Amino acid sequence: MGQSVRDSNCIFCKILEKKIPATIVSEGSDHIAIRDVSPQAPSHILVIPSDHIADIREFKQSEALGKLFQTATSIAKLEQLESFRLVVNTGAEAGQTVFHLHIHLLAGRAMQWPPG
């Protein structure tokens, strides 16, 4: 397994490198999953790839992207979340604030549609 691509200014890279603390839900060679520091639902987990990739448009490996979604789904099962929402904010106008790809796993309350 090669070294992960990192950006020293990225908060999620710092979490991946354990330079800042986070509540870790799951960790593997290809990802880390943490509890969101500002939860928008009773369960709010971020599934973050190990490599620094700014957003989903930059993710060129479809197999790895599929695996990341499978990881999010496995975590939902482990957390016994019967119903959940996976969200990938892409670009500032869509609400992206951390420019290291991540999947939000949200659950534990009734969700609105369309999302705001």
Q: Which residues are catalytic?
A: 102
The total of other beta-carbon atoms located within 10 Å of residue 61's CB is: 12
Separation of alpha carbons 91 and 77, rounded Å: 29
What type of residue is 113? W
The total of other beta-carbon atoms located within 10 Å of residue 65's CB is: 17
Phi and psi at residue 16, to the nearest 5°? -60, -35
The single residue among 4, 26, 30, 36 that binds ligand AMP, judged by CB under 6 A, is 36
Examine residue 9 and tell whether it contacts ligand AMP (CB under 6 A).
Answer: no
Examine residue 37 and tell whether it contacts ligand AMP (CB under 6 A).
Answer: yes
Examine residue 22 and tell whether it contacts ligand AMP (CB under 6 A).
Answer: yes
Give the x-and-dash track for 52-91 against ligand AMP (CB under 6 A).
-------------------------------------x--
Separation of alpha carbons 102 and 53, rounded Å: 9
The single residue among 6, 85, 98, 108 that binds ligand AMP, judged by CB under 6 A, is 98
Contacts with ligand AMP, residue ranges (CB under 6 A): 11, 22, 34, 36-38, 46, 89, 95-98
